């Protein structure tokens, strides 16, 4: 992390804003310790490249300060878990990474998010391209009311990569074969192929909740993303479906960079390589290797949260 040294000075005003937040339990212990913890997590050294670099990210929803000066680097081809109590801003943070918060008109976002070193919050960013590269899976499974095949082919079709329309068929230029290959590859990658290969033309809403969620993951893979953001993907599912999703995330992390928000600390401990803990008020309190965060947290608040005393 060669460039870590330079932004460290920039975090100074950030720690000030954190200390001015009066009624936070952490700041009452010692304003100093905040600074220390922050310094330590920024030194968290991971193998490989930083896929995304977030610096001083502030999000306001109208008057509400949802995210306060978050800085963090997300390593490539790994699983990063974001944990924390409800309303702590972890979903907001996740939605900043592919600019889905732009869709909320009251949200205002300050700070910097870089994808492969390129700023995504600047004029002229192609949102289509950004969201193709940074895919997203939502909390509740949300397949389109179309067939399984259509669900997966939807993205590439809309981007013009696949053409199976009437005109293409008439001109004998239909990409039906490519489409079917793509559908099979995505479903296999999402560990769903064996269950649905014989009913690709059935409506996706007829699948079970877990299957629907894996279909959504497959749909996300169809546009060939580099990063997959998951917002509590297993919270609406039963334990067996959850286990399947977890196995799937493990497999996906070999090729993709996965960032996952979860309420379930055991899940975070099981599947993630590094964990970021957000606490109430929209602060990132600790970020480090998962084993270290869970076994030996640097912050007392995080220890309280993990051991169940708080949050």
Partner 1 sequence: MAGAGRTDTRLVESETTETDAVAAVAVGLSAVLFALAVAALFGRVSLTGSLLGVQTVTLLGGLLTALGGTVIAFGVGSRFGYVETNPDPSAGLIAGFGAAVPWVVIGASVASQTLGLGAGVGVVAGVATGAVAFAATVLPREDLGSTVPLGALLGVTGLVFLTGAIGPTWVWELGWAQQAAITAEFLIPVSTLFSALYGGWASAKAYGGFGARGRHMGAYVLVYVNALSIVAFLFILVAFVVVQGIPGLLNGTEFGFGTGPTTSVFGVSVALPVSVPFLMNGVALFNDFQGVLPAIVGTVWLVVGAVVLAVPLGVGAALFLTEYAERGRFTQVVEVATNGLWSTPSIVFGLFGFAFLIPRFGNGKSLLSGMITLGFMLLPLVVITSREAMLSVPDEYRDASAALGVSKWQTIRSVVLPAALPGVVTGVILGVGRIAGETAPILLTMAGGTFVPGSQTADVIGGFQFTSAPPFVANPELLQATSALPYQLYALITAGVGASSNVGNADEFRWATALVLLVVVLSFYAIGIATRYYFRRRLRHT
Q: How many CB atoms lie within 10 A of CB 12?
A: 10
Please select the residue that binds partner 1; options are 135, 281, 288, 297, rule is CB under 8 A. 135
Write down the least CB distance from residue 59 to partner 1, Å.
17
Query: Is 137 or 271 the residue whose CB approaches partner 1 more closely?
Result: 137
Taking CB under 8 A as the rule, which mask of x and - marks residues 150-179 in contact with partner 1?
x---xx--xx--------------------
* Bridge partners (DSSP) listed for residue 134: 227
Question: According to CB under 8 A, which residues from 189 to 248 bind partner 1?
Answer: 201-203, 205-206, 216, 219-220, 222-223
CA-CA distance, 30 to 27, in Å (whole number)? 5
Question: How many residues sit close enough to partner 1 to count as binding (CB under 8 A)?
Answer: 35
Strands 50-61, 64-75: parallel, antiparallel or unpaired by DSSP?
A: antiparallel
Question: According to CB under 8 A, which residues from 75 to 104 bind partner 1?
Answer: 98, 100, 103
- Which one of the spans 32-40, 51-59, 76-84, 134-142 is the region binding partner 1 (CB under 8 A)? 134-142
Could you tell me which of 68, 40, 70, 58 has the C-alpha nearest to residue 289?
40
Query: Is 38 or 51 the residue whose CB approaches partner 1 more closely?
Result: 51
DSSP H or E segment with residue 267? helix 265-271
Q: How many CB atoms lie within 10 A of CB 174?
A: 17
Query: Is 132 or 298 the residue whose CB approaches partner 1 more closely?
Result: 132
Query: Is 61 or 154 the residue whose CB approaches partner 1 more closely?
Result: 154
Q: How many CB atoms lie within 10 A of CB 225?
A: 19
Please select the residue that binds partner 1; options are 8, 60, 114, 146, rule is CB under 8 A. 146
Is residue 108 part of the contact set for partner 1 (CB under 8 A)?
no
Please select the residue that binds partner 1; options are 5, 20, 106, 142, rule is CB under 8 A. 142
Query: Is 139 or 174 the residue whose CB approaches partner 1 more closely?
Result: 139
Write down the least CB distance from residue 165 to partner 1, Å.
12
CA-CA distance, 163 to 190, in Å (whole number)? 23
User: In sequence order, which residues have a C-beta less than 8 Å from that of residue 266 and are 6 or more positions away?
Assistant: none
- Tokens linked to 184: 């099979």
- Which one of the spans 38-46, 84-92, 130-138, 169-177 is the region binding partner 1 (CB under 8 A)? 130-138
* Residue appearing with tokens 């910097």: 112
E strands within the chain?
50-61, 64-75, 79-83, 107-115, 118-119, 134-137, 227-231, 257-261, 274-279, 283-289
For partner 1, the binding residues (CB under 8 A) are 98, 100, 103, 105, 127-132, 135-136, 138, 140, 142-147, 150, 154-155, 158-159, 201-203, 205-206, 216, 219-220, 222-223
């Amino acid at each position: 992390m060669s460039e870590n040294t330079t932004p460290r000075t920039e975090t100074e005003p950030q720690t000030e804003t954190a200390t001015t937040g009066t009624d936070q339990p952490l700041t009452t212990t010692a304003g100093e310790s905040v600074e220390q913890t922050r310094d330590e997590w920024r030194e968290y050294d991971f193998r490989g490249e930083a896929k995304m670099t977030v610096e001083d990210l502030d999000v306001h929803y109208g008057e509400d300060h949802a995210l306060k000066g978050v800085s963090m680097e997300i390593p490539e081809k790994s699983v990063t878990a974001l944990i924390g109590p409800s309303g702590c801003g972890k979903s907001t943070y996740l939605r900043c990474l592919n600019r889905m918060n732009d869709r909320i008109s009251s949200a205002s976002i300050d700070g910097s998010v870089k994808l492969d070193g390129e700023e995504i919050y600047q004029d002229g960013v192609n949102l289509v391209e950004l969201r193709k590269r940074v895919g997203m899976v939502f909390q509740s499974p949300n397949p389109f009311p179309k067939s399984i095949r259509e669900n997966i082919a939807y993205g590439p079709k809309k981007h013009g990569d696949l053409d199976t329309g009437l005109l293409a068929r008439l001109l004998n230029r239909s990409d039906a074969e490519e489409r079917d290959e793509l559908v099979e590859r995505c479903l296999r990658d999402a560990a769903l192929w064996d269950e649905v290969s014989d009913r690709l033309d059935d409506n996706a809403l007829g699948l079970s909740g877990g299957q629907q969620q894996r279909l959504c993951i497959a749909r996300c893979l169809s546009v060939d993303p580099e990063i997959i953001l998951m917002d509590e993907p297993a919270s609406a599912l039963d334990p067996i479906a959850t286990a399947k999703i977890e196995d799937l995330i493990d497999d996906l992390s070999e090729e993709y960079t996965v960032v996952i928000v979860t309420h379930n600390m055991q899940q975070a401990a099981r599947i993630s390589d590094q964990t970021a803990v957000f606490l109430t008020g929209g602060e990132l309190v600790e970020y480090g290797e998962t084993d270290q965060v869970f076994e030996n947290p640097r912050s007392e608040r995080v220890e309280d949260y993990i051991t169940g005393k708080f949050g």
